Chain A
Amino acid sequence: MKLKFLPKQRSSEFPFTFGAPAIIWQILFFYFPLLIIVVTSFINISELGEIEGVTLKKIALFLSPTYMKVILSSMLLGVSNAVICLLVAYPLAYFMAIRGKKHKNLLLFLLIIPFWTNFLLHVYAWFFVLERDGFLNTLLLKIGFIHEPIHFLNSIFSIMVMMVYYYLPFMVLPIYSSLERFDSRLIEASLDLGASWFQTFRRIMLPLTLGGIRAGFFLVYIPSFGEFAIPELMGGDKYMFVGSVVSHYILGDQTGSLGAAFTVVACICLLLSAVGLFFLLNKIILPKRKK
């Protein structure tokens, strides 16, 4: 007895309409807007909003030392943030993945919760702690450790604290997943062959987890570069970073296109620095190749 199968269907080219939505959306709302700001940086817009011509004036404006200093500060912020996060995150991830196997899930869980809590709440929390009348100062005064409240806020210190605080999970998670896949027998083999802990770490673990380190590094560096909320809230208006300049121009009247131009300039610098850091990371971490 033959079972009746489904009637013939034109199962061939299921119209591209199915794949299209995502791609169209992406082009429309991601690439096209990016194109717009790039283009805007190069054209002159008159006061009436009409396009007048191509110009490099705006770009040139932002290549001046003042603005380059801002960009440099952002890079510095990004790199120092990434480095500090890396130094803290790696041992943490190592512990979670290789040593504390039993508590792995709990530790991950505890890491994710702050990660998933509203960013501004964290800012507020640190405000609460670091303010002049805040928790830390009150505590220290009470103990008698200090006699006058310390100005924690509005300093590089508070900015860095907040940056590391917020970006740490971004560094931990990729390194953790890289370490999770790491064959711990390799460590055993290395030790067995006579290498010390440090040598094993430097020669075996580090190179093999490069993928995770790289991912974490850039997941921290790139957003840190464009960060403006943290510096502004934790540092007052004392320090100028890319984010603050951009928001200042964008939200101001008539300066929208300047904001776009600066964004473009900053992005290019970001890209170049990222490429440079990429190779630097590789150079530092990977073993030297013998020619």
Chain B
Amino acid sequence: MRSITLKGLSKSINGGQIIPGLNLNIPAGKFFALLGPSGCGKTTLLRLIAGLEKADEGQIFLGDEDITELPIHERPVNVVFQNYALFPHLDVFDNVAYSLKLNKTPKKEIKEKVCKILQAFHLESHIYKFTSQLSGGQQQRVALARAIINEPDVLLLDEPLAALDFKLREKMLIELIELQDKLKTTFVYVTHDQFEALTVADQMAIMNTKGQIEQIGTPKEIYEFPHSSFVAKFVGTTNILSGKLRQIDTDPEIEVADLGKFKLSIPLKKQWMKEGCDILISLRPEKIFISKKEVPNFSNKLMGTVQSIVYHGRSTQYNVVLRNGLKLQVFEQNEEHFPQQVIDYDNEVYLYWQKENVVLLEK
């Protein structure tokens, strides 16, 4: 289980640059997620690490070893493909045993290892079946078993759950976490689905459409303290307000045109934060408290009209129009069968939030 370090990695395809001089360190033995919108280059990056693509510039290190020039089949890196890429002419046993059969491992040992791993994945009853006879979830597990049986240093997963339905996906995510925990292999999970990324990752990186890494951190860090509006908007939903930064050193607040002044808290003052400069703030919908009556003890308050209501089962989403035309999204958890106050269309409501729950972003 070694770490992966990328130095100045660049890759262009057909004249367009996909990866621009990327630097990244993926810690050893952890479940790492690479999250980004479709087409941003994350699959290309994964293929570069696997050796399926050759970088134009830069280096790839596995631990201390420079593997940039190493051909695909010599890298101790395995891939679980999005469509599984199971060999249709081989049955489950032979698929899983494939890598072991490559180098004179004794038949008995192969049989042992394969049976053991198939048991762990609950696939014993399918051992001699062919791909077409398996369900999506089973195929996925075979692909997984095949990729880990020869104990690679790194396992790359390219949106492996994309083809599964929601319930199965949730289940597989948990299984993947447990698997990584047991094996301690470095997992690199590439996806565009933030829910998946947030669920499995020990550490994650957000890639933007230009192939650059916007932020690296734990899921919680990324969600609660995004560094840019891209990250704030891509991971989860958020409300973005723009305005001017006032009273930095005394009682910081943001002045939003036509709306007023709102209190902020600045845990760490950054270089770019200057009095009167333009800033953005990110306010997550679940951090806003909505009520038809006035409520005390909140640092910030706004008034608006409910434009639309969307029922999500666990929560209800309110889209509220403010007096300057701006719309805010509010999530409220449905804690009670019979809520004490019922908020309806066209209701005049108060929106409250605490200044600590706002994130300051550079414009």
Interface residues of A (CB under 8 A from B): 1-6, 8-9, 11
Contact = CB atoms under 8 A, between A and B. Distances in A.
B153 interface: yes
Contact of B151 (A3, A8, A11): A3
Nearest to B75: A5
A157 to B, nearest CB: 52
Interface in B150-167: 150-153
B150 A3 contact: yes
B153 A2 contact: yes
B151 A5 contact: no
B132 interface: no
Interface in B133-153: 150-153
16 contacts: A2-B76, A2-B153, A3-B76, A3-B150, A3-B151, A3-B152, A4-B103, A5-B74, A5-B76, A5-B103, A6-B73, A6-B102, A6-B103, A8-B74, A9-B71, A11-B71
Interface of B: 71, 73-74, 76, 99, 102-103, 150-153
A2 B103 contact: no
A9 B71 CA distance: 9
B151 A6 contact: no
Contacts of B152: 3
Contacts of B102: 6
Given A2-B76, A5-B76, A8-B74, 18 more contacts: A1-B151, A2-B151, A2-B153, A3-B76, A3-B99, A3-B103, A3-B150, A3-B151, A3-B152, A5-B73, A5-B74, A5-B103, A6-B73, A6-B74, A6-B102, A6-B103, A8-B71, A11-B71
Contacts, number: 23
Mostly helix, strand, loop or mixed at chain B's interface?
loop
B109 to A, nearest CB: 12
A4 to B, nearest CB: 6
Mostly helix, strand, loop or mixed at chain A's interface?
loop
Contacts of B71: 8-9, 11
Contacts of B103: 3-6
Contacts of B151: 1-3
Nearest to A4: B103
B50 to A, nearest CB: 14
Contacts of B76: 2-3, 5
Closest 9 CB pairs of A and B: A3-B150, A5-B74, A11-B71, A1-B151, A3-B151, A2-B76, A4-B103, A6-B73, A5-B73
B145 to A, nearest CB: 15
A6 B99 CA distance: 11
Nearest to A12: B71
Contacts of A9: 71
A208 B71 CA distance: 46
Nearest to A2: B76
Contacts of A11: 71
Contacts of A8: 71, 74
A5 B153 CA distance: 13
B150 to A, nearest CB: 5
Nearest to B152: A3
Contacts of B73: 5-6
Contacts of A4: 103
Nearest to B150: A3
A9 B74 CA distance: 10
Nearest to B103: A4
A11 B54 CA distance: 14
Contacts of B99: 3
A168 to B, nearest CB: 36
A164 to B, nearest CB: 42
B77 to A, nearest CB: 11
Contacts of B153: 2
A218 to B, nearest CB: 35
Contacts of A2: 76, 151, 153
A2 B151 CA distance: 7
Nearest to A9: B71
B29 to A, nearest CB: 14
Q: Which of A1, A2, A3, A9 has the most CB of B within 10 A?
A: A3
Contacts of B74: 5-6, 8
B71 to A, nearest CB: 6
A70 B327 CA distance: 85
A266 B99 CA distance: 59
A1 B113 CA distance: 14
Contacts of A1: 151
A1 B109 CA distance: 15
A2 B73 CA distance: 14
A10 to B, nearest CB: 10
A8 B99 CA distance: 17
Nearest to A5: B74
Nearest to B105: A3
A3 B153 CA distance: 10
A5 B99 CA distance: 10
B200 to A, nearest CB: 25
A2 B154 CA distance: 11
A6 B103 CA distance: 8
Nearest to B71: A11
A2 to B, nearest CB: 6
A97 to B, nearest CB: 25
A3 B102 CA distance: 11
A1 B1 CA distance: 10
A102 B73 CA distance: 47
Contacts of B150: 3
